[in-house]
Amino acid sequence: MMPQFLSTRDAGFEEAFRVLLAQKREDSPDVDAAVAAIIADVRERGDAALVELTERFDRVRLTPETLRISDDEIERLCAQVPEAEREALGLAAERIRAYHARQMPRDESFTDSLGATLGWRWTPVSAAGLYVPGGLAAYPSSVLMNAVPAKVAGVKRLVVTVPTPDGVANPLVLLACRVAGVDEVFRIGGAQAIAALAYGTGAVRPVDKITGPGNAYVAAAKRRVFGKVGIDMIAGPSEILVIADRDNDPDWIALDLLSQAEHDESAQALLVTDDEGFGRAVAEAVGRRLETLPRRAIAGASWRDFGAVVTVRSLDEAAEIADRIAAEHLELLVGDPEALASRISHAGAMFLGPWTPEAIGDYIGGPNHVLPTARTARFSSGLSVMDFLKRTTVSRMTPAALAALGPHAETLAKAERLEAHGMSVRARLDRING
Q: Phi then psi for 230, rounded to 5 degrees?
A: -85, 155
The one segment of 53-61, 63-71, 116-124, 212-220 that binds its own copies by CB under 8 A: 116-124
For position 395 contacting its own copies by CB under 8 A, the verdict is: yes
Burial 388-425 (b: 16+ CB within 10 A, else e): bbeeeeeeebeeebbbeebeebbeebeeeeeeeebeeb
CB of 393 to its own copies, least distance (A): 4
Report the binding-site residues for substrate: 238, 260, 263, 329, 362, 416, 421
Which listed residue (97, 209, 222, 224) binds its own copies by CB under 8 A? 209
* Calpha distance 143→178 (Å, rounded): 10
For position 140 contacting its own copies by CB under 8 A, the verdict is: yes
CB of 55 to its own copies, least distance (A): 28
Strand runs labelled E in 251-378: 268-273, 308-311, 329-333, 349-352
What residues numbered 62-91 form the site for its own copies, per CB under 8 A?
A: 84-85, 87-89, 91
Q: Which of 267, 214, 177, 236 is nearest to 57 (CA)?
A: 214
What residues numbered 343-382 form the site for its own copies, per CB under 8 A?
A: 345-368, 371-372, 374, 376-382
Of 63 and 113, nearer to its own copies (C-beta) is 113
For position 408 contacting its own copies by CB under 8 A, the verdict is: yes
Report the binding-site residues: 131, 192, 215, 238, 260, 263, 329, 362, 416, 421
Of 61 and 391, nearer to its own copies (C-beta) is 391
Alpha-carbon distances of 196 from 189, 206, 314, rounded to whole Å: 10, 7, 53
CB of 131 to its own copies, least distance (A): 16
Which listed residue (72, 166, 417, 433) binds its own copies by CB under 8 A? 417
CB contact at 8 A, 3 and 307: yes
For position 229 contacting its own copies by CB under 8 A, the verdict is: yes
Of 161 and 248, nearer to its own copies (C-beta) is 248
Q: Phi then psi for 71, rounded to 5 degrees?
A: -60, -40
What residues numbered 302-331 form the site for its own copies, per CB under 8 A?
A: none
For position 49 contacting its own copies by CB under 8 A, the verdict is: no
Neighbours of 320 (CB within 10 A): 15
Of 56 and 431, nearer to its own copies (C-beta) is 431
The vertex-145 CA angle with 87 and 82, nearest 5°, equals: 25
CB contact at 8 A, 242 and 359: no
CB contact at 8 A, 387 and 149: yes
Of 75 and 87, nearer to its own copies (C-beta) is 87
Of 379 and 433, nearer to its own copies (C-beta) is 379
- CA dihedral over 382, 385, 388, 393, signed as positive or negative: negative
What residues numbered 236-295 form the site for its own copies, per CB under 8 A?
A: 249, 251-252, 255-256, 258-259, 261-263, 289, 293-295
For position 434 contacting its own copies by CB under 8 A, the verdict is: no
The one segment of 35-43, 49-57, 71-79, 227-235 that binds its own copies by CB under 8 A: 227-235
SS3 89: helix
**Cα dihedral: 15, 16, 17, 20 (round 10):** 130
CB contact at 8 A, 298 and 265: yes
CB contact at 8 A, 279 and 271: yes
C-alpha atoms less than 13 angstroms from C-alpha of 358 in its C-beta half-sphere: 30
For position 46 contacting its own copies by CB under 8 A, the verdict is: no
For position 139 contacting its own copies by CB under 8 A, the verdict is: yes
Which listed residue (244, 319, 341, 385) binds its own copies by CB under 8 A? 341
For position 412 contacting its own copies by CB under 8 A, the verdict is: yes
DSSP state of 348: S
Strand runs labelled E in 219-328: 230-231, 239-244, 268-273, 308-311
> Which residues are designated catalytic?
328-329
Q: How many residues bind its own copies (CB under 8 A)?
A: 121
* Calpha distance 109→414 (Å, rounded): 30
Which listed residue (39, 58, 67, 99) binds its own copies by CB under 8 A? 99
CB of 318 to its own copies, least distance (A): 16
The one segment of 42-50, 53-61, 120-128, 270-278 that binds its own copies by CB under 8 A: 120-128
Of 68 and 324, nearer to its own copies (C-beta) is 324
